[in-house]
Amino acid sequence: MELNNIKNTLSKISLWKGDIDIEPLKGGLTNRNYLIKDKEQKYVARFGEDIIYHHILRYHEIAASKAANEIGVAPEVIYHEKGLLILKYIESSTLTSAEVRKVSNLKKIISIIKIVHKKIPLYLIGPTMIFWVFHIIRDYAWTLKENNSSYVEIIDKLIEDSIILEKAASPYHIVFCHNDLLSSNILNDGKRFWLIDWEYSGFNSPLFDLGGLASNNELSNDQENFILEEYFEKKINEQLIYQYQAMKCASLLRETMWSMVSEIKSSIVFDYNKYTKENLDRYNQEIKKFLNN
């Protein structure tokens, strides 16, 4: 959407105090984000429709965003309509992976994750989602085969891996997860952290959030042990480590196949091919270690 079209769309909303200035925000691989300024405040506008092949339903993103704000971990939802979500802007910076890896920051992040897992269901209204990574992997496989992806030759092997991982990660304890713990989805306002981008949120194993946090930010073995002990508030045993490593591999596999599907489906300009290769290489390293243990 061109800026003029964006401005025309936004100007029709009776929310602003005076004229508005609009500028694009970086990031957003499944939506387009804009910073809006009127005479009194700043806002973030997120334009995005449902993306069925990525299991994104915007009504659920809105409900999860509202619940996350109710428990004090996400920006306030100011306005929404079909294809548009407007949030209160928080003066902040996004974390880098290096910043995530600092012990003091990991403690804060795990604290927020625990709040999300325990409290969001108390404020969630309406139909909700389960983000079952193994179903999503199987669905991505179908999409890739149906669209004659260049990765078709390795898809059956990846599905075989996912069957092993799904069994290894059981038994399951289900909570409400963010499911997309990239460093860019964690804001630092100088006093505290916030979580943004709730489009993939849903009920899941807590080990998926922990594994995703680790794999997305390249945590060391010691850092992984730290977040597990911080989350569960006890020394971790071999069974828990085994389940966690399985879910960490599943997180990497899902991210890899997300990128594979995006290569053939997304209209947003981004080097998905490079991103696929990076994640596939990391996944192959992790699954090899897991299967050899």
The encoded tokens of residue 137 equal: 């992997």
Under a CB-based contact definition with an 8 Å cutoff, are residues 156 and 149 in contact?
no
Tens of pLDDT, residues 66-87: 999 999 999 999 999 999 999 9
Residue in the structure block whose two tokens are 């890899």: 256
Res. 1: pLDDT tops 60 = no
Tokens 């927020």, located at residue: 112
Report, as an integer, the average pLDDT of 149-155.
97
Mean pLDDT for 211-215 is 97
Q: Is the pLDDT of residue 244 over 70?
A: yes
The H or E element spanning position 93 is strand 93-94
Looking at residue 5, its pLDDT comes to 85
Handedness of CA 52, 182, 60, 21 (dihedral sign): negative
- Type of residue numbered 12: K
Which is nearest to 51 in space by CA: 139, 123, 117? 139
Q: How confident is the model at residue 272 (pLDDT cuts 50, 70, 90)?
A: very high
Calculate mean pLDDT across residues 22-50: 91
> Any idea what DSSP says for residue 131?
-
* Cα 139 to Cα 145: distance, rounded to the nearest angstrom: 10
d(CA 272, CA 262): 7
**N- to C-terminal Cα separation, the chain:** 49
Domains, the chain? 3-90 (3.30.200.20), 94-292 (3.90.1200.10)
Query: Residue 195 has what pLDDT?
Result: 98
User: Whole-prediction pTM value?
Assistant: 0.94
Structure confidence at residue 2 (pLDDT) = 76
What are the tokens at 284? Answer: 């192959």
Q: Is the pLDDT of residue 8 over 60?
A: yes
